[in-house]
Structure 1
């Protein structure tokens, strides 16, 4: 049975504030597979799923390795397919 989370979107300023990352660090981590990419909200608009940000904050706090962080990101992105079900 898939795990369901209430869908809440956070815009970039909120994500940067919660994570303590700069704009450049956020996008560098996304490109390295260390943070999930945002989801398109329309023309030139992007947001992040709040539960994914929560998961990544927990992963950072628990000291996961680069490889473990990449695995977490991969799993989160794969789980997006089940959100509509």
Structure 2
């Protein structure tokens, strides 16, 4: 039995081939969201309740996360509007 990975058709090692799709979604905890957007916790939750900030997701009773791409899109939207 051959323990070495077989090369892919293009000659690359199939085990180390890079995926052709987008990178996997990343989840951000509140401290990282605060650092990225420059808002305090209270301002983030206020804007969320007003529908002006991406909604958080609950992963458990004490674990709240945001989808990185939604935060990045919100930042781009602020930059595109000029403030």
Give the deviation of 1:5 after TM superposition.
5.8
Name the CA shift for 1:29/1:5 in 2 (closer, same or farther; >3 Å). farther
- Number of paired residues? 62
The structure with the largest alpha-carbon Rg is: 2
Could you tell me which runs of 5 or more consecutive residues in structure 2 were left unpaired when the two chains were aligned.
1-21
Residue 51 of structure 2 aligns to a residue whose secondary structure is: coil
User: CA RMSD of the aligned region, Å?
Assistant: 1.9
Could you tell me which runs of 5 or more consecutive residues in structure 1 were left unpaired when the two chains were aligned.
65-85
* Deviation sequence 1:32-69 (CA, Å, 0-9, x none): 100111111112210000000000000011118xxxxx
TM-score (structure 1 length as normaliser): 0.66
**Residue in 2 aligned with 1:75?**
none
**Residue in 2 aligned with 1:67?**
none
TM-score (structure 2 length as normaliser): 0.68
